[in-house]
Structure 1
Amino acid sequence: MHVFCREILRFRKALNLTAVDDEQVLFERFITPSLALGQWIPKGPLILLDLGSGMGIPGIPLLLVRSDVQGVLVERRRKRAEFLRHLVRTLDLNAMVLDRDIRELPPQHADVCVARAVASQDQLLTMFEPHLTMNGRVILPVPRDSKPVKRDGWHVLGEDRVGAGEEQLVRCYIYRPGGFT
């Protein structure tokens, strides 16, 4: 994880990745909340799709601790996609980087989809739906006061509080056609 943080800090200004310039703060704000999503990821092997991966959050921390997971990192900005490819090589990750808009991609058959600060829950469920396997999961960090999206086929599997002061939730949706629960 240290090498991952070092590379983010090394390229943060050139690629406008983050204003954070301290590894400890980077860990607290980005790495720890990313790892909190992991409790909702079932045993693999499986495919994890990270939308708007940017600097690799939340996907890369999850891939670093789960060797049974293959990553698909989707980032439409080319320079950031190249940075992600650099991270995949440097960290020897089982992952590929796709530098296109998710709406232009063929189905990715992901078992789990994650994203952080990309779009609303409702928009993300729409974007992820064509890329999920049946019973696939969408795991999102959301504000604590946010309400679950009610939509046919989507069911809330659970949620937990995370972060300093527990200001965020991790909400896990599962896709099964037929009703909302």
Structure 2
Amino acid sequence: MPTLSEAQIANILTPFLPSPPPGILPKLSTYLELLLKWNARTNLTAIRDPEEIVRRHFGESLFAGLHLSSEATTLLDFGSGAGFPGLPIAILRPEIAVTLAESQNKKSTFLREAVRTLDLKVEIWAARAESMPQGLHFHTVTLRAVDNMAAALAAAAPRASSDLLLLAGIPPTPPPGFTFQKSIPIPTTESSMLLRGTRN
């Protein structure tokens, strides 16, 4: 199965992550290889082209990771899918305790395998994030490519003690108690932006 060299990955990521930290490229390369292998037999992502996976999934996720608050110590990736943006953020910011919430069994199984293979200290919540214990909160909750952003925001907001970080197309209305900061355009795309919501 065709994959990409670390140098090719670094080149594609330049607009998103101009100076990759030491040790990040081997992990991203392994993650890409694993994703391509699994995606060939079970549909984890509609994007099949390795370069496009690096650009759209890895690049946008790492760009989001660069814009996290310096105070972020815990992060919930709400509806993580194949791990975006949560897994690239965990690779970029290993000091953050990341939890990936994904209710689809085939995707949560892949996430467990990815976390094990990449040797990351990441928790998997293999159920709907709404079913988490009532008092469980995270500094930041990330959302990306969800079908119904308004409903997802309403469910995600109570989990965020400080920030919401959205990778979105059309800016949604902020949930009660949050204010969106100025949107940040995501490199190489005209349709996606990064939105950070902070608690009032």
- TM-score scaled by structure 2? 0.79
Q: 1:80 aligns with which of 107, 116, 119?
A: 107
1:62 Cα offset (Å): 0.7
Q: 1:153 to 1:25 in 2, by over 3 A?
A: same
CA contact (8 A) 1:44 1:69 kept: no
1:140 matched to which residue of 2?
A: 166
Q: CA deviation at 1:79?
A: 1.9
Number of the residue aligned with 2:197: 173
Q: Are the counterparts in 2 of residues 158 and 173 from structure 1 also a CA contact under 8 Å?
A: no
Structure 1 unaligned blocks of 5 or more:
177-181
Aligned residues: 172
The 3-state SS of whatever aligns with 1:54 is coil
- Select the residue among 76, 85, 94 that pairs with 2:121: 94
1:124 aligns with 2:152: yes
Aligned to 2:176: 152
Between the aligned partners of 1:17 and 1:54, the Cα distance in structure 2 is: 7
Q: Distance in 1 between matches of 2:83 and 2:45?
A: 12
Q: Among all aligned residue pairs of Structure 1 and Structure 2, give the percentage whose two residues are the same amino acid.
A: 26
Contact 1:53 1:74 (8 Å CA) reproduced: yes
| 1:45/1:68 contact within 8 Å kept | no
The answer on 1:15 being equivalent to 2:42 is: yes
After superposition, the Cα gap between the structure-2 partners of 1:5 and 1:149, relative to the gap in structure 1 and judged at 3 Å, is: same
CA offsets, 1:24-51, max 9 Å, x none? Answer: 2211121111112123312256111011
CA separation of 1:45 and 1:103: change in aligned 2, threshold 3 A: closer
Tell me if structure 1 keeps the 8 A contact 2:153–2:175: no
In the superposition, relative to structure 1, how do residues 69 and 167 fare at CA in structure 2: closer, same or farther (>3 Å)? same
Structure 2 residue aligned with 1:51? 78
Are residues 1:28 and 2:55 paired? yes
Q: Secondary structure at the match of 2:182?
A: strand
- Give the residue type in structure 2 aligned to 1:108: L
Moved over 6 A (4+): none
- Pair 1:121–1:77, CA change in 2 (3 A): closer
SS in 2 for 1:164: coil
The separation in 1 between residues aligned to 2:119 and 2:176, in whole angstroms, is: 39
